[in-house]
Structure 1
C-alpha cells in the first residue's frame, strides 16, 4: 500500500516499534511508489531507520531517499544497486524497483527485480528485515497463479523469522499464509487464518499488517460470499485509514471499497459509481493482475447497464496488459474472458474458463457461459452475481474442514478442495500444472491421512465434517 510518513522521530519509533515496521511498508507496498510526503518527512524517516539499523547510518540515509517525493525513486534505487550488493539498502532498492514495475504492468521487470532482491537477501540485511523480500515476491507470484513457488518463499520467510511468534515479521508471515489460502480459493480456511492474525497484529501495534489483513478479510468475504462480513471488514479497514492521514490507500483497497459500496445497487447505479469515483482504476494495470476476475466483472456489469464505452475501455486496458506480458497465462486468460464477453463469443469463453488459474475467476467464466448459452439475462445486482458464482461451490461444500486442514500439507489441501469441487484428476493436474500421476500420488496420501478410500468418501467427509 502507498504510504506517506509525516511524523516526528519519536512518533515513528513509537508507531512502528523501531524502524523494523518501516521496512515491511517499503517492501510490501503493493504499488511501490510511496506518495507525496510532507516537507521534512524524509529526515524523520531517516532518523527512524537509523534507530532500527544502528550502525548502518549511511545505508539509512539512502533508504530514506527512496521515500523522497520528487519522482526520482527509480533512479536512486538503480544508483544504490550499481554501487553495492548484499546490503540492506540494495535489497530495499531492488524490491522498490520490483514494486514500481509491477504497478506499471511490466511483469517481467517486476519479477526480475523481485528475484534479485531475494538473491541479495543475506547476512548484510538486519535479521528482523530478512523475511520481507521473500514475502514481497510471494505476493507477486500469487497474483499470477504460481502458488507452489509462492509457498516455498513463504516457508523461507517463516524460516527467516525462526518460526518465532515474537519475531517482528511473524504476523506478516501468517498473513502471507492466509493470502496463499485465498489464492487457492480456500476461503473459509483463509478467513480463519487471516482473522486470527489481524487480532495479533493489532495487539502488536503492526498497523500496516492490520490494515492489509482487514482488506484481505473483506476480499475473502466477498468471494464466499458473506456480504455482511465483507462490509464489516471493509468499514474497519476504512476506519484504520481514516484515523491515520499519513497512509494513502492502494488500488487494491479502492477496488475492494468499490465492490462493497455497490452492494445493494442495481447495475446502472454500480456503473455510475465506478465512472464517477473509481474510473482511475482503469489506469492501474496491476489491478487486473491481482484480481483475474476484475476485468470480466466490470465488462459484464457495464453490458448489463448498457454502458458500451466502459465495457470497451476495460477490454482495451486488459488487452494492452496482456499484449505487453505475453508470457503470463493468467493475464491472457483475463483478457480472453473480457473480450469473449464483449463479443458474446461462447467458444472463447469456454477457453477462458479452462485457462483461468484463479478458480473463482474460472467459476465466474462458467457462470457467464451459462448465461450466454441460455440467453439468460445477467444478474441485475452485484450481490446476485456474487451469489450466482458461489452457489455451485456452496452446494458442493468443497472447502475441507478444520480437522483435515490440520493433517494435510498445503498442496494436499488444494487437491482435496478441488476433488471435493467435482474436478477430475486431469482437470486438477491442468489447474495446478502437475502431472496426473503426481495428483494421484497426493490423493493417495490424502486418503491415508483421513482414513478414507475414495473420492466419493472425500466429498462426503468434507460435507459431513464441514457442515
Structure 2
C-alpha cells in the first residue's frame, strides 16, 4: 500500500509545474474544474494542458465526464499534506473567496481537500448539551423522527426555531432535526437548508446542525450516483462529530457505514457501526439499540454472512420501548425476507415482504431503500418466473431498472436483470440496465465494484467467459461471484461432450447439503477453481500460501466425494443454480 512518504516521492518525480498544478487543484476538492485551477494560477487553461497530462499519466488524477477527479482520497490527502501549513491556509481562503465569487457547485463552495473550507479558521465550539430536558438524552423532535413520526418531529423543531427564547443548543438540535426529517422524506428542502447553513454559518466540531447538513448532502449526492462527493462529505461529518451527543453521532456514522458496505468495504463499515453502538451505550444514554442492529443486518447480508444477518435483523425487529427504531424496521424485515428467499422458503419470505409493505403504508415514515421493491421482484421471479418480474417493471416498479441507487446497494442487480431480460427477450430492459450501470460506473472511476458490475452485465450479453472468470476472481461481492459462476457453467456445459454421461442419464449434480457444508474459505476456493485459476493464482487472491490452498482443496474433495477440478467446477455451478443463484453461508 502506498504511504505518505511514497506519495511525497511520487510528487518529487513530477515537474515543478505539475506539482504546483496538483497542489492548487487539491485545495479545490476531490473533484475540480480545469478553469478553476486556471483562475487561481492566473494562467490560461491551454497553458496548463501539459501539467494536466502529466498529472493524469502519473496516476494522481483521472478525467471524469465533466470534471477532473483525484484518483483516491489517500492521494488527495498526501498532496494536501505536502503544502506547508501557512500556504495551505492561504490557498484555502483564496479558494473559498474564489468559490463565492464564481458561485460554483456545493462541493467547491463548501469543500477543500477532504475538509470543509470553514474548518481552516472556525474555532472549536463546545459540545452541545442534551436538548431533551428532564433527563432525556434526545430532544422531543429528534425522538418523534426516530419513531417514524417525521412530520410531527419537523413541526416540533420548527416551533423551537421560531421561539426567540430557545437556547443555542436547542436551536442547533432543532435545525439538525429539521434537516434529518426532510432528508428522510426525500424532500429538496433538506438540501436547500443544508446549503444555506453551510454557506451562512459553516460547521465546526460540536455543531450538530452543520454536521447534519453535511450528512444530508452526502446522502443526496450518493443517491444521485456521485459517490466520491458523497463519501467525502460523509467522512467529514464523522471526522468532526466527536463533540456531539451520541444520539447524533449515530446518524453520521451509520450513514457512512452504509455507503462503505455498499462498496463492499465491510471491515470499515462494521467498525463505524460498532462506534455508533458504543456511543449509545455510554452511561445515561442507552437508547435505540435497533439502529445499529438493522444496519449490521444489511451489512452481514451483503457480505454473505447470512446467519449473523438473520440474528441482527431479528434483534432490530423485536426491539421495544427505547430500544426500538420504527424508522429502520422495514430494512430489517427486508433482510429477513431476502434470507428466506435464498433458503427457498417463499411463504415466509412473502410474509416478511408484507411486513415491509405494511410498515411503508402506515402514516409513519420509514427509511427508503430500493431493496424493498427489489426483494419483491426476486420473489416474483422465484415464485412465478421471469415474466412476472417484467410485468412489475411495466407497472409498479417501472423506475427500478434505471434507479442508480439499486446498483449501488446491490452490484449483482445489473447482471441479474440482464440475465432476466435475455431470458424473456426484452431488449428495452436489457439496454436500460446496461446504460444505467455503464453511466454509473463511468461517472465514478476508481470505484472497482461498479466497474466490475458493468463488465459482468455486458459479459452476459457477449457470453465472454474471460470476463466472467475475472468477476469470480476479483469481485468483492459474493452474489456477483455466484451469478458469474452459474453463467460460466452454462457456457462450459454447452461445450460438454454428452457421451460422457451414461445412456439415458443426466450428469448428477453434487449433493447440495454436502456443498453447503463447505466453509466460506473452501467455497471461495471452489469458485476460483471453477474460473480455471491455478493454486498459485488462488493463493494470491485469498491471501494464503499455495500449500494451504492445496490443503483446503484436498478437504473439499473429501467432503464432496470427488477427485478432479472438473468435477469441482461443475459442482460449484450446480450448487449456485439450486441456491437461487446465490451463495449463502450456512448458519
Q: 1:74 aligns with which of 168, 191, 211?
A: 191
Q: How far apart in 2 are the matches of 1:263 and 1:49? A: 51
Cross-structure match for 1:11:
none
Q: How far apart in 1 are the matches of 2:381 and 2:284? A: 38
Q: How far apart in 2 are the matches of 1:244 and 1:455? A: 55
After TM superposition, the structure 1 = structure 2 runs for residues 419-434 of structure 1, keeping only pairs within 5 Å, are 427=538, 430=541
Aligned residue pairs, count: 398
Matched, 1:63 2:183: no
| Conserved 8 A contact 1:318-1:335 | yes
Residue 250 of structure 1 aligns to a residue in which SS? coil
Q: How far apart in 1 are the matches of 2:329 and 2:439? A: 34
| Conserved 8 A contact 1:425-1:436 | no
Matched, 1:101 2:101: no
Bigger Cα displacement from structure 2, 68-77 vs 185-194: 68-77
Cross-structure match for 1:450:
none
Matched, 1:278 2:391: no
Bigger Rg over Cα: 2
* More helix as a share of residues: 1
Q: How far apart in 1 are the matches of 2:139 and 2:325? A: 8
Matched, 1:43 2:155: yes
Q: How far apart in 2 are the matches of 1:161 and 1:429? A: 40
| Conserved 8 A contact 2:360-2:366 | yes
| Conserved 8 A contact 2:380-2:386 | no
| Conserved 8 A contact 2:256-2:269 | yes
| Conserved 8 A contact 1:175-1:213 | yes
Q: How far apart in 1 are the matches of 2:424 and 2:157? A: 47
| Conserved 8 A contact 1:218-1:233 | yes
Query: Kindly tell me: are residues 148 and 249 of structure 1, through their superposed partners in 2, closer, same or farther at Cα, counting changes over 3 Å?
Result: closer
| Conserved 8 A contact 1:298-1:311 | yes
| Conserved 8 A contact 1:22-1:49 | no
> CA offset at residue 217 of structure 1?
1.4
| Conserved 8 A contact 2:525-2:553 | yes
> CA offset at residue 136 of structure 1?
1.3
Query: Kindly tell me: are residues 193 and 71 of structure 1, through their superposed partners in 2, closer, same or farther at Cα, counting changes over 3 Å?
Result: closer
**TM-score, normalising length: structure 2:** 0.59
| Conserved 8 A contact 2:475-2:481 | yes
Query: Kindly tell me: are residues 133 and 326 of structure 1, through their superposed partners in 2, closer, same or farther at Cα, counting changes over 3 Å?
Result: same
> CA offset at residue 142 of structure 1?
0.7
Matched, 1:118 2:230: no
Q: How far apart in 2 are the matches of 1:325 and 1:392? A: 42
| Conserved 8 A contact 1:234-1:260 | no
Cross-structure match for 2:19:
none
Residue 383 of structure 2 aligns to a residue in which SS? coil
> CA offset at residue 251 of structure 1?
2.1
Q: How far apart in 2 are the matches of 1:200 and 1:459? A: 44
> CA offset at residue 220 of structure 1?
2.7
> CA offset at residue 145 of structure 1?
0.9
Contiguous gaps of at least 5 residues in structure 1: 1-15, 27-33, 377-390, 401-413, 444-452
* Cα deviation code 1:168-211 (max 9, x no counterpart): 23221222333332122011232123223321258844211322
Cross-structure match for 1:290:
409
Structure number with greater CO (CA < 8 Å, separation at least 6) is: 1
> CA offset at residue 241 of structure 1?
1.7
After TM superposition, the structure 1 = structure 2 runs for residues 254-269 of structure 1, keeping only pairs within 5 Å, are 254-269=373-388
Measured on the aligned residues, the alpha-carbon RMSD in Å equals 4.1
Query: Kindly tell me: are residues 79 and 364 of structure 1, through their superposed partners in 2, closer, same or farther at Cα, counting changes over 3 Å?
Result: same
Cross-structure match for 1:370:
489
Cross-structure match for 2:248:
129
Cross-structure match for 1:149:
268
* Cα deviation code 1:355-374 (max 9, x no counterpart): 32111211111111212332
Q: How far apart in 1 are the matches of 2:219 and 2:250? A: 17
> CA offset at residue 457 of structure 1?
7.0
Query: Kindly tell me: are residues 257 and 54 of structure 1, through their superposed partners in 2, closer, same or farther at Cα, counting changes over 3 Å?
Result: farther
Cross-structure match for 2:372:
253
> CA offset at residue 20 of structure 1?
4.1
| Conserved 8 A contact 1:299-1:338 | yes
| Conserved 8 A contact 1:292-1:331 | yes
| Conserved 8 A contact 1:194-1:213 | yes
After TM superposition, the structure 1 = structure 2 runs for residues 332-343 of structure 1, keeping only pairs within 5 Å, are 332-343=451-462
